[in-house]
Structure 1
């Protein structure tokens, strides 16, 4: 009977030190772990999502509505052009048209929300992030 593959290789700990013993088979590199979603991988890696995250930061919220007003019609026009000219050539371009519609919807929803957050901040008297620090200081 042959030795199972799991016994032939060294086991590795988190600090890359070998544990156990080998049966004469060369070491194998440890399996890479799945990426952590909090590190900016997956959905947060797309360029349009980075723009949305940028729009929700306090100093940039004032630009949310102008960006949305610019990008929503641009994405809808792009979706129409793709639908008119590229989809009849090959059906795979329908995915590109849907991506344009999805991005237009994303900016149509998040742009006004971020701008309303800017208006709430202005109503509360906070205009820039450093205002939170300087408004309580006794000197200039």
Structure 2
């Protein structure tokens, strides 16, 4: 056992010696950036404009999804893995193609919400007031 400890200490000492002996990395030479004589013109393309306007579509999609969910019952056909809001509860479709409902906590209700940072919607337990505010915010995000 002592032999292994001595070998380990020698190995560690060797590694430390190698690290300390390694030359320090040289700092890169700083050169002056070339002068720009003409200010580049920024061209606004339709694609860059669309990048900021997905919020409006998300709001519309969330509203339409909520309207769809408002017609759902536990008898509504579903596919395994589907998620929805049924009777203000979070619903998930099981392996037997039936809905299992889960009550939201704290007086919240299940609702469709527009995503804020990328295209799409989400289903979450939230207040109706927040849902309405997020939909209105999304609709106002684009001209």
Q: Identify the TM-score tier after normalising by the shorter chain.
A: under 0.3
More helix per residue: 1 or 2? 1
Give the TM-score of the pair, scaled to structure 2: 0.24
Return the index of the structure with the highest Cα Rg.
Answer: 2
Give the TM-score of the pair, scaled to structure 1: 0.24
